[in-house]
Homo-oligomer: A and B are copies of this chain.
Amino acid sequence: MSTTTTSYSISALAQEFGITTRTIRFYEDKGLLSPERRGQTRIYSPEDRVRLKLILRGKRLGFSLDESREIIDMYDPSKGNVDQLNRLLERIDAKRQQLRQQQRDIEKMLAQLDEATARTRAALKEQTS
């Protein structure tokens, strides 16, 4: 059995995702990441990288860091009694509905953009005539 342990430096991750190291440290400060340390230096695992990816995905959807943290934590329901697990199921469902709302919003906006394109093309024809 062989195990290959990939790891990343903070600047490597920053470059890959087009963010600054400040941002990554900020996420750690907010409890969204907790990389290991070799001395003072942060060492990021593939799992850390995945978490960062999820954070940035949430960001693209307009989620706050608190929301992203919530969603990430949903993936691991290790802790909790029956009551807490049931509440978790509700929160998951709430997020699902929010995402469905966003889907509807996107559909409408895309339709609006199609309209905008048509109008702009029409305006162009006016100009060129």
Residues of B within 8 A of A81 (CB): 127
> CB distance A110 to B99 under 8 Å?
yes
Whether A20 is near chain B, meaning CB under 8 Å from some CB there, is no
A113 contacts B60, C-beta separation under 8 Å: no
- Provide the bound-state CA to CA distance between A105 and B57, in Å: 6
> At the interface, yes or no: A14 with Cβ under 8 Å from chain B?
no
List A residues at the B interface (Cβ < 8 Å): 54, 57-63, 71, 74-78, 80-82, 85-86, 88-89, 92-93, 95-96, 99, 101-103, 105-106, 108-110, 112-113, 115-117, 119-121, 123-124, 127-128
Cross-chain pairs A/B with CB under 8 angstroms, 11 sampled: A57-B108, A60-B62, A62-B63, A74-B112, A74-B120, A78-B123, A80-B123, A89-B117, A92-B116, A96-B110, A96-B113
